[in-house]
Amino acid sequence: MTFIEHDFPIEKLNPVALSEGNAKKPVYRMHKWWARRLGSVFRTIIISAFSPPDESADSIWQKFCEGFDVRGKIILDPFMGGGTTLVESLRLGGKVIGVDINPVAWFVCKKEVEPVSLKQLREAFVQLEQTVGERIKSHYQTTCPTCQQTAEVMYYFWVKTADCATCGTKVRLFQHYELSRRDKINVSICPNCLQLVETVGYQPSTTCPECQTIFDPQHGVSKRGAFQCSTCGNKETLLSAIKRKGTALDMELHALEGYCQACGRFFKRVDSDDLNRLARSKQEFEHQRDQLLFPRQAVPTEGRSDPRPVNHGYTYFWQMFNERQLLCLSLLLEEIVQVADQNIRELLLLAFSDSLNTNNMFCKYEVAWHKISLFFSLHAFHPIERPAENNIWGTKLGRGTFAKCFQKVLKGKIYCQKPYERLANARGQRISQFLSHERITATLVSQVEELTQDHAALLRAQSSTDLAFIPDKSVDAVITDPPYFDNVQYAELADFFYVWLRQALQKTYPCFTPEYSGRANEILKNDKAGKTTDFFTHGLCQVFSECQRVLKDDGLLVFTFHHNKVWAWERLAQLLIDAGFYISATPIVRSEGKGEVHSSEGNIRYDCIFVCRKRGQNLTNFENLSGLPYQETILASAQNWARRTRESGLPMSEADVFTVVMGKAIQHYTQQLNGAGMPLADRLAEIAQLSKVENRE
């Protein structure tokens, strides 16, 4: 038995996890990955999984704060995704095997753990800035309206247009006319002449000083996928307008936000010079189009879960960018691939790829925060009516530029050399606890037999349904975060980055040879692609069966999971039994913070940590409560963990309580029932209903 099967220090961990969820560690901000789990949680899991059961929670937390040694241990993550297990295991001195079927995940993890000379990395960026950087900056210049000197453009503001089906009027699809809200000064866009209008606060009847149009800045003509013609009043859906046009809707450039070194930030309506600069960028793009290094792939449609980009007329990935973006991104990518040092080149490529998240025409401007939003703020392709075009290289201010993304990569690698944990002092203030003896670095190897030294890593871009390259009973622990049925369509999302990365990596790495990142045997639920629940559970069972084979007899399989449907928990329990495991413990811990979709209001905010052992190994009674009726046993355990969670200072909703109860129910089932008596589905439904009654009481 290990500590994690006895207890888990959620009272100390939950506040730290909540804080990290809102501001992840630098190494995890180097590149976007979806549903990335928290480093603090997985650090605690690893420490608890290799600590004896008789330790105190205070002792475990001391190890968290001061460090712990897992040298000599081999830890496998068969769904490495964003690399949390690998990073935290390497920090603690372990050896890791990471597998993921998606090439983007593999590449991100590879660059997270590979060591690099920070000096050489900085020098390479300076060289880029002096060459292609200056060329890109020339496409993002304007005239400061105050001092009339040349200034830098931070953001260009666009609006989609559609022709009215009844009268033919060009309708600008403004959902509202607000551009900025800051320091009690609002900036709005006149719907008639596009002049920018400043007011003190929100004025429902704002008058344009140029054309005298009176308008409400918070009420536009487009809403919930439909628009109304301002001339004849005809109402129409966006999709019908797109279908009539046959392509994506046109866009009109109308304003910008600039930065002047003398005057600071400013907004202005675009003038003739700005439009001429755009025309020159378009002309340069068309002149060099055939030679530019941008992806030509069509957006896959067969079996697609999210049809919105295609429905909105974006049939090719390059159509998600305008001509100026395609030109500048291609110029930057061409310069990066010329960098001689492979490691440096790939880290610059990582920054380039991450910058795509904010350099496309699916990003909006956050009027209250004065910054651009991320394309993948949601786990979906979400076309918008008012795109904001970022400055690709970047200015002193702004978000998501290549320069800022490079700084994220640089900070990530600095963190790897000097990692820390964010803790709270006695006054509740956040402090950074540095651990001078820890490093996040790996020597990459190609075979398991080469995992002879500490901090060694074997990374594979393949399916984990066949782990034949790993010998039987050679792994000390399997710690992972598997896909949650149909919650995230990883390949469908990752293709956005993959088609660009492939331009630079297809000749170096075979996993980047195919046109797209999706693979037929990717384990997920997608009914449109014929991947049913049975397909998903069968595939996950294959992976867990392979984990059972490679795991030492006394080793643990540990993974996090949550879902809001009873059937998902039922399938999970059965596939664990089929794979040869039982659940020995199910601690509950805070999941991602408020910045993540899974933690939004009304969604589940906690993960159930499944601690599993091979069947026949050290089977113990369920929390020493097996003498009680199973309903009372499960509910008593769930109430205990819910109480402890609330005592850690965090709330629990009904959906959160559901997660706790389901985890305890299938833990009890795999330990005690083994399929006898009432079917599992009926038992889970009964327990779920009882938990609602108990929670109300």
**What pLDDT, in 10s, does the model give residues 90-118?**
999 999 999 999 999 999 999 999 999 99
Query: Above 90 in pLDDT, residue 627?
Result: no
What are the tokens at 488? 């995230």
The answer to whether residues 609 and 489 belong to one domain is: yes
- Pairing state between β 170-172 and 150-163: antiparallel
The whole-number pLDDT of residue 600 equals 41
Domain final residue pick, 617, 644, 660: 617
The answer to whether residues 106 and 145 belong to one domain is: no
- Bridge partners (DSSP) of residue 645 are none
Task: Go through 633-661 and write b for each residue having 16 or more CB atoms within 10 A of its CB, e for each that does not.
Answer: bbbebbbebbebbeebebebeeebbbbbb
The answer to whether residues 126 and 27 belong to one domain is: no
pLDDT digits (tens, 9 = 90+) for 564-588: 899 999 999 999 999 999 999 999 9
The answer to whether residues 255 and 343 belong to one domain is: yes
Residue 295 lies in a domain: yes
Give CA–CA dist 455/524, Å, rounded.
Answer: 31
The answer to whether residues 278 and 344 belong to one domain is: yes
Other Cβ atoms less than 10 A from the Cβ of 467: the count is 23
| SS3 category, 532 | coil
- Range of lowest pLDDT (128-142, 247-261, 271-285, 620-634): 620-634
Query: Above 70 in pLDDT, residue 594?
Result: no
pLDDT digits (tens, 9 = 90+) for 468-504: 999 999 999 999 999 988 888 999 999 999 999 999 9
The answer to whether residues 110 and 146 belong to one domain is: no
Residue 580 lies in a domain: yes
pLDDT band at 454 (very low <50, low <70, confident <90, very high): confident
The answer to whether residues 452 and 576 belong to one domain is: yes
Domain final residue pick, 360, 377, 400: 400
Tell me the average pLDDT of the chain.
Answer: 93
Going by C-beta distance under 8 Å and a sequence separation of 6 or more, which residues neighbour residue 78? 99, 464, 467, 478, 480, 482, 543, 546, 547
What are the tokens at 213? 């149009």
The three-point CA angle 72-78-83 to 5° equals 75
Structure letter (DSSP) for residue 448: G
Query: Above 50 in pLDDT, residue 199?
Result: yes
Cα–Cα separations (whole angstroms), residue 169 to 224, 233, 541 = 20, 11, 58
Give CA–CA dist 593/39, Å, rounded.
Answer: 12
What are the tokens at 472? 């039987």
Q: Let me know if 675 is exposed, middle or buried by CB neighbors in 10 A (0-12, 13-18, 19+).
A: exposed
Residue 211 lies in a domain: no
The answer to whether residues 290 and 372 belong to one domain is: yes
- Pairing state between β 443-445 and 456-461: parallel
Give CA–CA dist 293/336, Å, rounded.
Answer: 11
Averaged pLDDT, 401-425 = 93
What are the E-state strand segments in 273-341?
none
Q: Which residue has the tokens 């980009």?
A: 309
Give CA–CA dist 599/24, Å, rounded.
Answer: 14
Structure letter (DSSP) for residue 671: I
- Range of lowest pLDDT (48-57, 326-335, 412-421, 611-620): 611-620
Averaged pLDDT, 392-412 = 97
The answer to whether residues 304 and 352 belong to one domain is: yes
pLDDT band at 42 (very low <50, low <70, confident <90, very high): very high
Residue 201 lies in a domain: no
The answer to whether residues 29 and 131 belong to one domain is: no
- Range of lowest pLDDT (283-292, 426-435, 542-551): 426-435
Query: Above 80 in pLDDT, residue 350?
Result: yes
The whole-number pLDDT of residue 493 equals 97
CA neighbor of 448 nearest in space, from 427, 421, 467, 430: 467
The whole-number pLDDT of residue 618 equals 62
The answer to whether residues 393 and 309 belong to one domain is: yes
Give CA–CA dist 51/550, Å, rounded.
Answer: 21
The whole-number pLDDT of residue 596 equals 39
The whole-number pLDDT of residue 601 equals 43
Range of the domain at 241: 120-175+220-400
Residue 296 one-letter amino acid: R
Residue 371 lies in a domain: yes
**Between 599 and 271, residue with greater pLDDT:** 271
The answer to whether residues 448 and 553 belong to one domain is: yes
Strands, sheet with 222-223, edge to edge from the N-terminal-most edge strand: 222-223, 226-228, 235-237
Averaged pLDDT, 128-148 = 97
- Judge contact between 465 and 550, C-beta under 8 A: no
pTM: 0.95
The whole-number pLDDT of residue 688 equals 83
The whole-number pLDDT of residue 676 equals 52
The whole-number pLDDT of residue 336 equals 98
The whole-number pLDDT of residue 598 equals 38
Which H or E element spans position 257? strand 250-260
Phi, psi of 442 (to 5 degrees): -145, 145
Sign of the torsion formed by the C-alpha atoms of 512, 515, 518 and 521:
negative
Phi, psi of 16 (to 5 degrees): -70, -40
How many domains does the structure of the chain reveal?
A: 2
Residue 681 lies in a domain: no
What are the tokens at 665? 């129910």
Structure letter (DSSP) for residue 672: I
CATH number of the domain that residue 603 is part of: 3.40.50.150
Give CA–CA dist 211/379, Å, rounded.
Answer: 42
Domain final residue pick, 555, 585, 617: 617
Averaged pLDDT, 61-74 = 95
- Judge contact between 97 and 445, C-beta under 8 A: no
Going by C-beta distance under 8 Å and a sequence separation of 6 or more, which residues neighbour residue 417? 118, 439, 440, 441
Cα dihedral value 157, 159, 160, 161, nearest 10: -140
Other Cβ atoms less than 10 A from the Cβ of 623: the count is 18
| SS3 category, 143 | strand
Residue 658 lies in a domain: no
